[in-house]
Structure 1
Amino acid sequence: MPKPENTLTIAIDRRESSPIYQQICERFKAAIAAGHLKPGDRVPALRGLAMQLNTARGTVEMAYDMLVDEGYLQMRGAAGTFVSSSLPASATLASARKTRERTAPPRTKRAEAAADVGNDAKPLRPGLPALDAFPRKLWSRLVAYRARSGDLATLTYPEPSGYGPLRERIATYVGLSRGVECVPEQVFVTNGYRATLELVLRGLATPGDRAWFEEPGYLLARNFLMEAGLRLVPVPVDDEGLDVDAGIALEADARFAFVTPSHQSPLGMTLSLARRMKLLDWASRAGSWIVEDDYDSEFRYVGRPLPALKSLDRDDRVIYCGTFSKVLFPGLRLSYVVAPERAVPRFEQLTKSMNAGSPYLYQAAVADFIAQGHFARHLKRMRALYAERRALLANAIVKAFGERVSIDLPTGGMHLVAIFNARPDGPVDDMAIAARARESGLAVIALSAWYLNARTKPMLRGIVAGFANVGDAAEATRLARMLRRAYDAYDAYDA
């Protein structure tokens, strides 16, 4: 016997600034969180609810589609529409209260948007590798082997500079794959990129030093550097990457230049050879340091991975930084830095005083992962997988948005940028759209949040979205539709 329809009464307020379909969504979420609607309950039919609310059927259909996309409802054809039997984690009383209190699209401050990137596995999170494709069984065996080995090193304090065999493996790897010539003593293993920056700044910087920073640039590094007391100079990027001439005109005597030359974060271009040589020449003449963040250069889909900027460094002015967070998984908290030879004694001293050693168990497992050939095979599989998922998400977004967005497929990396085309009345507020998308459970970031100077002209508006965890075409379509609904919600309010 079919389950009877729930007698829930939905009320809307036409005086509210939020669209009617958004209000319908809010009412359903609140009812589910409060227990008035339970998993398996049948909800009113489209036509019936439209008549009850005296609104267009299309408005109710838009709300139901959104609730289906977010996992709250399930459509079962002629049987009707039901509350999902596997509700999302967001269906809680707290989230319902937050939803009821929401009115107009939040005009998020730039500082808040830059900090609100989270650290979970929500869909479309930039920089998050394909967690479903990581060889967890193999990894578990490697970790278990080390844990059972009886090595006393597993129980003592780890070496502050890093586990010796892992430093050797990293030195060999960056030499072969990135052209970075170094010895293991120059390699320092850290607890993530933030710890890498802390080591670099404590070793080579003084508060108040000026530093070039890409505009737009990696926002998490930007926030930390500003907190550390550096005075950042936003240097524009173009199709060739960092505009070195502009940097010299802005601050010729800057102490540092922080760059992402292989895959600019977030726009994705590669620093041209001419710009690389000009940047190295500037650093040599000014006695400055270049911090090269080579965060995801392993994933390149057109040609072979490019040599690192460090490979061209003849004056030892480049500090090369890499990470295992993107190529393996971020829970490792393992990154590394190749220090200039003259800075090795200082870095060694600092790692001891910082007590910054990473856990032996994971370092040893990563060293084994590399030594046994698993690392190279994993990278090869991920390049093929990411190339496929990159196309899936890009095609789905273009189909969902049409001429409203422009996407240039990145030649590498794990994220893409969907740039919103300006409307006749001016640029789109990507901050508001990103906030709407995050409320729906997506972890996208507004492109304008990556700009240090709010008055940069021209400032591109769009969405930075990760594609590594998009499982198939159907999921890509669902996520793109959710993004489009966030855009439509902003558009309806703005109109």
Structure 2
Amino acid sequence: MFKHSQLESVKAWLAHPTHAAMPLHARIQRAIRQMILDGVLAPGKPLPASRPLAKSLGVSRDTIETAYSQLHAEGFIERHVGSGSFVAEMTEFATGRRISRRDPLSRNQTPNLSKRGNAMFSSGGVRELLAPRPFAHGVPETRSFPLQLWERLERQVLREHGTQVLLHGDPQGTEALRSAIADYVNLERGARATPDRVLILTSSQQALTLCANMLLDPGDRIFIEDPAYYGARKAFDAAGLECLPVRVDGQGVVVEQITAETRKVKAVFLTPSHQFPTGATLTLDRRLALIEWANRHQAWIIEDDYDSEFHYAGKPTACVQGLDPHDRTIYIGTFTKSLFPGLRIGYVVLPPQLVQPMTVARTLLDGHSAPLAQLTLARFMEGGHFGAHVRTMRSTYADRLGVLASLVGKHLSHFVEAQVPIGGLQMSCVLTCNMPERTAIDVARRAGIEIMGLSALHANGEPKAGFLMGFAAYTPNEIEGAVRKFADALGAVAKS
């Protein structure tokens, strides 16, 4: 019979809530198998007869017999008529040796990764909150999204296409969505796009990774704004690129730094419509200068137009891609900010010579985007619903920005100076007190508030301490409650 501790181990498997969905015989089989793998039951060790074990566990004898039969079929035990069941002598697995409790594979063991793998892992990745709380940045309002309309369009797609949407999709994306996107960016962003130049992806982050790995080799140089979007910097670092930071002022990236560089630089990354995180818009003369620089040096311009739909003062400036006659600009867009993050659809408008290489490379990452979501989004755009939703959200977000700016001025003016943007989903605040940025972030987190520090977004110089406050996803009441709570928490720390 099993020792008391061994019997208790099997009972624990039977009682554990995470195993509740398993049949009884499977739970018993797994428990015994684990004891064999751990070396608790040594080779040649006899197992209890099925009848007394069934009585000890309060199950039927058939349940024990089924568990033993499975263990025997998997090679963990041997069964001899008249003698009973024994742990198999041949317990060598893929490692070439028996796994024992004294020789485990440590979960904390440093993995043997490639240089690129180490760079990706050490970057920490790009993580989003599953349940955003004020003032997480870059999160759109989803509670007022027209779900019933979306569901109706999705049913239309299913009726028309049936099981066809359950199959593999075109790696470049459905033609209907590529056409809708081309029409949209041409009309609203002044782009020069055709459906055959659009590549559908899961996100702008995937687009950045593709650009980094398809257009540049490890060690190649790329200009990047300073401060810059952290996801871009991490994608380029992970690809082994040398990022050259370029200062940003009130007119966007300082192009003179780029044109004065004597070393070979193969690309520049920009957020020209609404620079992240400063909110600056790149002026027309600087856009034209960058286009000429890229053509002269046969370099690439990677233009991330991540939230240009939400411009609150006048019309947004036309995108760089639409001004570029030399086809050196890669235009990146996403529906994560304009619709909802769970959609997982982004896109790039590519120079003609890059369409096939980028599409082939995409097949090595994730194959294709879900056809059902693509076709539903295409109808959403074709029916004018996307434009209507953006206009509604633009008005909503402008109101919420006004509320946040007013409340920060009222309750946080002793601590910060708000830099109210003309667009986007977040507002920068510069600390004007002596409190360290890290302290402010920790105080906010303890109060149940999420803010992003500005210092980490800078590569050079001595950045002003401060943080980003997202406002798009939160109602005026939620914004007010969070600002008051944050002010009280900061005040308590300042007094201590």
Contact 1:432–1:490 (Cα < 8 Å) also in 2? no
More displaced stretch, 252-261 vs 323-332: 252-261
Alignment match, 2:326: 315
1:383 deviation in Å?
A: 1.0
Aligned residue among 204, 228, 240 for 2:239: 228
Contact 1:161–1:348 (Cα < 8 Å) also in 2? yes
Aligned residue among 189, 193, 197 for 2:204: 193
Separation in 2 of the partners of 1:115 and 1:439?
22
Alignment match, 2:258: 247
Alignment match, 1:329: 340
Aligned residue among 134, 150, 155 for 1:123: 134
1:278 deviation in Å?
A: 1.5
Contact 1:117–1:445 (Cα < 8 Å) also in 2? no
SS in structure 2 opposite 1:151? helix
Aligned residue among 452, 466, 487 for 1:484: 487
Structure 1 counterpart of 2:456, one-letter code: A
Separation in 2 of the partners of 1:150 and 1:336?
23
1:366 deviation in Å?
A: 0.4
Aligned residue among 170, 182, 186 for 2:181: 170
- Residue deviations 1:363-404, cap 9 Å, x none? 111001001110111111111111100000111111111243
1:253 deviation in Å?
A: 2.4
Separation in 1 of the partners of 2:287 and 2:426?
24
- Residue deviations 1:219-254, cap 9 Å, x none? 122112211211111111001110111234456521
Cα 1:481–1:300 change in 2 (3 A) is: same
More displaced stretch, 483-492 vs 282-291: 483-492
Aligned residue among 443, 447, 451 for 1:444: 451
1:355 deviation in Å?
A: 4.2
Aligned residue among 380, 400, 410 for 1:369: 380
Separation in 1 of the partners of 2:446 and 2:490?
12
Separation in 2 of the partners of 1:118 and 1:371?
31
Q: State yes or no: 1:379 paired with 2:390.
A: yes
- Residue deviations 1:235-282, cap 9 Å, x none? 110011101112344565211111000000011010011211121121
Structure 2 counterpart of 1:356, one-letter code: G
1:141 deviation in Å?
A: 1.8
Alignment match, 1:400: 411
* TM-score of the aligned structures, taking structure 2 as reference length: 0.72
Separation in 2 of the partners of 1:321 and 1:482?
37
Contact 2:407–2:480 (Cα < 8 Å) also in 1? yes
Aligned residue among 460, 465, 470 for 1:461: 465
Structure 1 counterpart of 2:465, one-letter code: R
Separation in 1 of the partners of 2:194 and 2:161?
29
Percent of aligned pairs with the same amino acid: 35
Q: State yes or no: 1:278 paired with 2:282.
A: no
Structure 2 counterpart of 1:147, one-letter code: L
Separation in 2 of the partners of 1:116 and 1:491?
31
1:142 deviation in Å?
A: 1.8
- Residue deviations 1:143-174, cap 9 Å, x none? 23323445332111111111110001101111
Contact 2:213–2:239 (Cα < 8 Å) also in 1? no
Q: 5+ residue gaps in structure 1?
A: 1-110
Separation in 2 of the partners of 1:483 and 1:113?
27
Contact 1:397–1:477 (Cα < 8 Å) also in 2? no
Cα 1:112–1:169 change in 2 (3 A) is: closer
More displaced stretch, 368-377 vs 338-347: 338-347
**Root-mean-square deviation (Å):** 2.0
Cα 1:116–1:360 change in 2 (3 A) is: closer
Between the two proteins, the alignment pairs up a number of residues equal to: 375
Cα 1:240–1:372 change in 2 (3 A) is: same
Cα 1:232–1:478 change in 2 (3 A) is: same
Q: 5+ residue gaps in structure 2?
A: 1-121
Alignment match, 1:432: 439
Contact 1:203–1:347 (Cα < 8 Å) also in 2? yes
Q: What are the within-5 Å matches in structure 2 for residues 321-360 of structure 1?
A: 321-360=332-371
Aligned residue among 165, 180, 197 for 1:154: 165
Could you list the runs of 4 or more consecutive aligned residues of structure 1 that deviate by over 6 angstroms after TM superposition?
Answer: 111-114
Structure 2 counterpart of 1:421, one-letter code: T
Separation in 1 of the partners of 2:378 and 2:128?
30
1:362 deviation in Å?
A: 0.7
SS in structure 1 opposite 2:331? strand
SS in structure 2 opposite 1:185? helix
- Residue deviations 1:33-89, cap 9 Å, x none? xxxxxxxxxxxxxxxxxxxxxxxxxxxxxxxxxxxxxxxxxxxxxxxxxxxxxxxxx
Q: State yes or no: 1:261 paired with 2:263.
A: no
Contact 2:123–2:234 (Cα < 8 Å) also in 1? no
Separation in 2 of the partners of 1:346 and 1:329?
29
SS in structure 1 opposite 2:184? helix
SS in structure 1 opposite 2:240? coil
Cα 1:488–1:147 change in 2 (3 A) is: farther
Contact 1:114–1:449 (Cα < 8 Å) also in 2? no
Separation in 2 of the partners of 1:235 and 1:403?
32
* TM-score of the aligned structures, taking structure 1 as reference length: 0.72
1:114 deviation in Å?
A: 8.8
